[in-house]
Amino acid sequence: MKIAVAQINTKLGDVEANVEKCLQFSLKAKEEGAELVVFPELSLTGYNLQDLTFEVALTPQSPELIPLLEVSREVAIVVGLIEESPEHVFYNSAFYLEGGRVKHVHRKVYLPTYGMFDEGRFTGHGEEVKVFESKLGKSSILICEDLWHFSTVYLAFIQGVKYIIALSASPGRGYKERGMFGNAEVWLNMGEFYSRLTGSYFIYSNRVGVEDGFVFSGKSFVCDPYGRVVAQASPFKEEILTVEIQPALIRSARANLPLLRDERPLTTLKNLRRIVDEG
């Protein structure tokens, strides 16, 4: 089974152009034999939206999604966007498209409001981390800052996740002599650690390009369940990584390191209740 990671640049606030780009990359992924293609965070809208947030918002029923929904009958797609709820709350979300419909939605749980980031002013917090059945198997989608809080990974882990799909729009900081930004190096460390610890594939799609003074760091990658980097993109170019997934590696990794078998979520819950009660 093959998957594709689409590392793209997006146009700020131009949903039509971004849908067209994702459509073309999805068709290319299908030609390369991929059954799933993963795009970066806010791939349909651009990142630093601020007041544009409310103008570019979509719902699962939005007609702008129709071209991607049609292609999802042949290749499943994960895209990032601003979602407007029925209550008119706006979320930084990811949609999983398969078979012509939106089959799963993840709303970003943790919104950074430090340094250069100001997401909490414009979007609401998601409240759930769920595992869903994708073409690959048990999967979970997490968005950028979610991964910097290992509680979200833990919640996916105890639900039996096999494929952690990580969407990011990570601005580059601290360019290294060896051809990568410092934050990209940390993301790689996280992918290696989380994949090994959970016995899961870690599929990381980051964007590239320049937007409103932000230079995004690229270096999208895939780690196997042993924490090995099996594919990695460049820091600056749009490209597709097509990777052969081997589900048997998940089985062998979990047999060798049976952390899921030995996990005790009720003990964790008991201690969390105690900590909250104690203030």
Beta bridge partners of 104: 96
Beta bridge partners of 223: 202, 229
Rounded Cα–Cα distance for residues 138 and 159 (Å): 9
**Number of domains observed in the structure of the chain:** 1
Domain that holds residue 80: 2-277
pTM, full prediction: 0.95
Give the count of alpha carbons within 13 A of 259, CB side only.
Answer: 17
Amino acid at site 155:
L
Beta bridge partners of 139: 132, 163
Answer whether 75's CB lies under 8 Å from 34's CB.
Answer: yes
Residue listed under structure tokens 């369940």: 225
Answer whether 43's CB lies under 8 Å from 65's CB.
Answer: no
**Maximum distance among all alpha carbons in the chain?**
57
Structure tokens at 129: 């981390």
Find the CATH number of the domain harbouring 213: 3.60.110.10
Give the count of alpha carbons within 13 A of 94, CB side only.
Answer: 27
Strand order in the sheet with 132-133: 132-133, 138-143, 163-168, 201-206, 221-223, 229-232
Tens of each residue's pLDDT in the chain, 279 residues: 999 999 999 999 999 999 999 999 999 999 999 999 999 999 999 999 999 999 999 999 999 999 999 999 999 999 999 999 999 999 999 999 999 999 999 999 999 887 767 888 999 999 999 999 999 999 999 999 999 999 999 999 999 999 999 999 987 667 666 667 778 888 999 999 999 999 999 999 999 999 888 888 899 999 999 999 999 999 889 999 999 999 999 999 999 999 999 999 999 999 999 999 998
